[in-house]
Structure 1
Amino acid sequence: MSTVTAPADRRYLRVVRASAGYDLVVTAGFATPWSYALLHAALSGLGDRFGLGTLPALEPAQLLYANLMGSIVVVWAVLRLRRPSRRYGGYDGVARVLFALWQGWALAHGFSAMLWPFLLVEAAFAVAQLVPLARSRPRPGAARAGSAEPAEGPDQRVLS
């Protein structure tokens, strides 16, 4: 497989990197109990100051889930920063649709309005990563040679 050279492909990979950079910055604070306690206090203070509401009191289960989410998103972000691809952009776009759905659900059930900016960014990156892939899908009925899942290569840039 050849490396990506088309301007549209380079732009797309910049979007994948940008979404990864955003994730790294926004979720790094969730990755450890100590950083999340500081982040929790800061977000609650901001929410209170701007009338958006505060976060619920920190409890061990909430801390565990925040740390698990933060850890996996940080690793996923580093992967996309180091090896951006159309495939990873597609998977990330789908994950962002799911995150946005659950954020919307939380807002509908009374969660702090401070979640709105995060939901909007999730939705924007989902659109930016999924729409270009939908436009470049192969025609229906076009058979792919070989197995159902192509072998991974260092320069593979397609979403299977």
Structure 2
Amino acid sequence: MSAVTAPAERRYRRVVRASAGYDLVVTAGFATPWSYALVHAALSGLGDRLGLGALPALEPAQLLYANLMGSIVVVWSVLRLRRPSRRYGGYDGVARVLFALWQGWALAHGFSSVLWPFLLVEVAFAIAQLVPRARWRVRPGAGRAGSAEPAEAPEQRVLS
């Protein structure tokens, strides 16, 4: 069984950090009612101009769910930016598979085609984060007892 090489680990952490940066940029506008109203109007107008379809009218329940999702993704993004790791990349890859499934479901049920670029990015980052993990093997004794997760560098304390 082979250990993960340092260059492969660095590349993987860059992918985790890049996916976090993308998420932060794309979802920060979802985190507050005021910013989401602007994002909603911009995406709806873009979809309408490009012939992809406008978004449904903004309603309080939609706003609430967008804000909850935006808030959680912003926090998750900051964590991965500050501490990119194999573990977080794996969790993020699984989350992206779920996001892609639900985006595909929405598209299949008539949602605006403005969602396609976001779906493609979700799939690309899911592949980039999950495929390398599937190839890595654990060195005997490298991980915790009973764990398939290779040992990672110890977390550094950050005073903030």
Q: Report if TM-score (shorter chain) is over 0.5.
A: yes
Q: In the aligned structure 2, how far is the partner of 1:120 from the partner of 1:149?
A: 29
> Aligned with 2:155: secondary structure?
coil
Question: What residue identity is the alignment partner of 1:88?
Answer: Y
Equivalent residue number for residue 7 of structure 1: 7
| Pair 1:116-2:141 in alignment | no
> Aligned with 2:19: secondary structure?
helix
Q: In the aligned structure 2, how far is the partner of 1:58 from the partner of 1:145?
A: 48
Question: What residue identity is the alignment partner of 1:81?
Answer: L
Q: In the aligned structure 2, how far is the partner of 1:154 from the partner of 1:143?
A: 16
Percent of pairs with identical residues: 83
Unaligned runs of 5+ in 2: none
| Pair 1:53-2:70 in alignment | no
Q: What are the within-5 Å matches in structure 2 for residues 120-135 of structure 1?
A: 120-135=120-135
Cα deviation for residue 145 of structure 1 reads 5.2
Residues 25-55 of structure 1, C-alpha deviations (whole Å, 9 max, x = no match): 0000000000000010000100000000011
TM-aligned CA distance change 1:80 to 1:145, over 3 Å: closer
Cα deviation for residue 137 of structure 1 reads 3.4
Equivalent residue number for residue 98 of structure 2: 98
Name the TM-score, length of structure 2 as normaliser.
Answer: 0.86
Equivalent residue number for residue 73 of structure 2: 73
TM-aligned CA distance change 1:21 to 1:148, over 3 Å: same
Q: How many residues align?
A: 151
Equivalent residue number for residue 154 of structure 1: 155
Q: In the aligned structure 1, how far is the partner of 2:53 from the partner of 2:94?
A: 29
> Aligned with 1:154: secondary structure?
coil
Equivalent residue number for residue 62 of structure 1: 62
Question: What residue identity is the alignment partner of 2:101?
Answer: L
Q: In the aligned structure 1, how far is the partner of 2:100 from the partner of 2:142?
A: 33
Equivalent residue number for residue 37 of structure 1: 37
Equivalent residue number for residue 158 of structure 1: none
Question: What residue identity is the alignment partner of 1:57?
Answer: A
TM-aligned CA distance change 1:12 to 1:35, over 3 Å: same
Cα deviation for residue 14 of structure 1 reads 0.3
Unaligned runs of 5+ in 1: 156-160
Over 6 Å off, 4+ runs? 149-152
Residues 36-89 of structure 1, C-alpha deviations (whole Å, 9 max, x = no match): 000100001000000000110000000000000000000000000000000000
Q: In the aligned structure 2, how far is the partner of 1:145 from the partner of 1:72?
A: 29
Cα deviation for residue 146 of structure 1 reads 3.6
